[in-house]
Amino acid sequence: MNWKTFLALLARDAHVARRNFAPLVLQTFLQPMMFVFIFGRVMVSSGYMPAAYKSLLLPGIMAISMVFTGVWAVAMPLIAEFQFTREIEDRLLAPMEISWLAIEKVFFGTLQALVAGLVVIPAAWLLLRPGVELNLRSPLSFACVTLLVALFSACGGLALGCSISQTHIGLMFSMVLTPMIFFGCTYYPWSALAHFPILQKVVLVNPLVYASEGLRGTLVPQFPHLPVPAVLVALTLFDAAFLAAGLRQFRRKAVS
Query: Binding residues for other proteins, per CB under 8 A?
Result: 2, 4-5, 8-9, 11-12, 15-16, 19, 77, 84-98, 163-165, 167-168, 249, 254-256
Q: How far is the CB of 192 from other proteins (least distance, A)?
A: 30
Nearer to other proteins, 11 or 25 (CB): 11
- By beta-carbon proximity to other proteins, the closer residue of 92 and 147 is 92
State residue 180 phi and psi, 5-degree precision. -60, -40
Peptide bond into 130 cis (omega under 30): yes
Instruction: Kindly tell me the sign of the dihedral angle through the C-alpha atoms of 50, 56, 62, 65.
Output: negative
Shortest CB 179 distance to other proteins, Å: 14
Q: Rounded to 5 degrees, what are φ and ψ at 138?
A: -125, 95
Q: Please, which residue, 22 or 140, has the CB nearer to other proteins?
A: 22
Q: Residue 59 gets which letter from DSSP?
A: H
Nearer to other proteins, 141 or 249 (CB): 249
Least Cβ distance, residue 91 to other proteins (angstroms): 7
| Smallest separation, CB 21 to other proteins (Å) | 13
The tally of CA atoms less than 13 A away on the side-chain side of residue 41 is 14
Q: Is 113 exposed, middle or buried (0-12, 13-18, 19+ CB in 10 A)?
A: buried
Residues 6+ apart with CB under 8 A from 27: 72
Residue 82 C-beta: closest distance to other proteins, Å = 9
